[in-house]
Amino acid sequence: MKRLAFLVVLAGCGDELDQRLSIIDEPRVLAVIAEPAEAKPGAQVMFHAIAASPDGPLATVPHWAFCTAPKSPTEDNVVSDDCVRGSALADLGTADVVTGTLPSDGCLRFGPDTPPGGFRPRAADGTGGYYQPVRADVDALVAFGLARITCKLPTAPGDVAHDYDVRYVANANPILDPIAIDRVSANSDVTLAASWPADAVETYLYFDPDSQTLVTRREAMRVSWFATAGSFAVDATAVGEDDTATTASTTWHTPGPGTVHLWFVLRDSRGGIAVRDAAIVIE
């Protein structure tokens, strides 16, 4: 039986992030990265998966497909059960990196337009975004990533909606600096720091439904920490949208001597992702 690994673009970066998932003790998909990070339905987007195992990066080539079914109001999953079962998919093929054309009806099925079948339009996430699910089958793992799609504002006044169409800039993936350590002492507490350029944190237009106006917001950032051994003080560290910090850190308690693989996964609040990994020698 295939295992499911749901990879979601989080609406925000709260403090409730410690999910005890940071130690890679079995194969796992850590991220599905879309390039560009946001595009209009009908545009071409490249996808690749970051997969990890207890021995390091997982080299299995994924099989890809777009989810084509909207989620019904009674379903609790991130994606439709039909996409999980494989009965509502548009095949993209098998490749390390795959290029696919975003379905032209993405804003109808997964956005603010009224979808077929009596389903309700999807609500936007906390940044006003909508997402096209993409499925990656990696060996025995089934993972879902969410590619942000640019849709029109559904309820804004006409002049505001037009202004949004003209001025909104689609999200770009952030940049994560390389991991700065390559060897550490065994059985010790080590501070791990992830950093990114200041301009990797973008500002964006957001429609405020209360004031019925466009406001400018700044992306929040979140770093998830992963390792093949040891333990972390927290599994993820958040930087809020009002915080101008360009680093995040955690404490890693190292294991005994050997080689450990680390992954830093940086996500911005609009669904962009950057990943760095390194093999660390434990002395």
Mean pLDDT within 44-69: 96
Mean pLDDT within 176-182: 96
With a cut of 60, say whether residue 228 has pLDDT above it: yes
- Banded pLDDT at 116 (limits 50, 70, 90): low
Contact 22, 225 (CB under 8 A): yes
pTM of the model: 0.91
- Banded pLDDT at 8 (limits 50, 70, 90): very low
Contact 43, 101 (CB under 8 A): yes
Angle at CA of residue 225, ends 223 and 228, nearest 5°: 160
With a cut of 80, say whether residue 20 has pLDDT above it: no
What is the C-alpha separation between 37 and 246, in angstroms, rounded? 20
Q: Mean pLDDT across the chain, nearest whole number?
A: 91
Closest CA to 11 of 106, 105, 120, 123: 123
What is the C-alpha separation between 60 and 145, in angstroms, rounded? 17
Higher pLDDT, 70 or 168: 168
Question: What CATH topology corresponds to 3-282?
Answer: Immunoglobulin-like (2.60.40)
Q: Which tokens belong to 271?
A: 């669904």
Percent of the chain with pLDDT strictly greater than 90: 82
Mean pLDDT within 25-32: 94
What is the C-alpha separation between 35 and 43, in angstroms, rounded? 11
What is the C-alpha separation between 209 and 103, in angstroms, rounded? 28
Q: 17-31, 141-155, 172-186: which has the minimum mean pLDDT? A: 17-31
- Banded pLDDT at 120 (limits 50, 70, 90): confident
- DSSP, collapsed to helix, strand or coil, labels residue 166 as helix
- H helix or E strand, kind and range, residue 167: helix 158-167
DSSP state of 52: E
With a cut of 70, say whether residue 6 has pLDDT above it: no
Mean pLDDT within 30-44: 97
With a cut of 80, say whether residue 265 has pLDDT above it: yes
CA atoms within 13 A on the CB side of 12: 13
The pLDDT value given to residue 236: 96
What is the C-alpha separation between 263 and 199, in angstroms, rounded? 22
The pLDDT value given to residue 123: 86
With a cut of 90, say whether residue 77 has pLDDT above it: no
The pLDDT value given to residue 118: 65
DSSP state of 175: -
- Banded pLDDT at 71 (limits 50, 70, 90): confident
